[in-house]
Amino acid sequence: MGYLQPTDYTNFGLDPATTDDRVTAASALMESYCRRTSLNPAQYAERMRLTEGAQTVRLSYLPLVAIPPSSSPLVSINARYARPRRGELIYPVQAEIAWAFGLPGAWTFVDPSTIDWVFDTGELIFPMNILGLPYNEVAITYTVGLMAIGNDVMSACAQIIKNMQSTPSLNVKSSRLDTLQMNYFSNSLIDSQVAALLRPYIANRLG
């Protein structure tokens, strides 16, 4: 799905005769640059280690969005109990009990409603287990994306199309724009203006 509709072309300085394949190619290049499958709402799964000494992680993709009928962007969470180092036990007796039941190293379901999350940064804050055992790794499925495509994304798409037209070595008269060709010219197609517009949507931790 392209990030510009024909009714948007003139509003963003494009020729009304702009073909769909140009919009599709520009949209695909944007997704590749942002290192994500789509800017529309989509589900992602990540497995991450928690910051040592803090029960927090930061998700790679933003913005977080709840897809109806869900009221939370967090779909499912599993966490693995860590073995605390000497001197780190908050409740030593309870921790020994946990060891007796083989909890350290085991994965457990975590109710997403017990997790605090920060919309702007994608940071998740995990509560401490009642036995004083921290988590050291989590597997999270969550939803992110734009419920409505904003002017920043549409402007970026339009600018890439304009850059296509002003790149002599790119055969924009071809009936089909080759993906490899688009990637080869990505540095000139995604200029500083486009990069600034797309910055909020680039995956944070990948690559």
Which residues on neighbouring strands pair with residue 137, listed in sequence order?
49, 80
**Contacts (Cβ under 8 Å, ≥6 apart) of 144:** 41, 42, 44, 59, 61, 62, 63, 64, 65, 73
What pLDDT does 162 receive? 94
Dist CA 62 CA 101 (whole Å): 38
DSSP 107: E
State the pTM of this model: 0.82
Place of tokens 């605090």: 116
161, 6 in Cβ contact below 8 A? no
What pLDDT does 8 receive? 97
- Cβ atoms within 10 Å of 143's Cβ, excluding its own: 18
What pLDDT does 85 receive? 52
- Positive or negative torsion for Cα 160, 166, 171, 174: positive
What pLDDT does 112 receive? 95
**Which pLDDT tens digit goes with each residue over 9-18?**
999 999 999 9
Enclosing H/E stretch for 28? helix 20-34
- Positive or negative torsion for Cα 105, 106, 110, 114: negative
In this structure, the strands spanning 116-118 and 42-49 are: unpaired
Residues of the chain with pLDDT below 50 are 88, 90, 101-102, 172-175, 207
| DSSP class per residue in 164-200 | HHT-TTS-TTSSS--HHHHHHTHHHHS-HHHHHHHGG
What pLDDT does 182 receive? 60
Amino acid letter for position 190: I
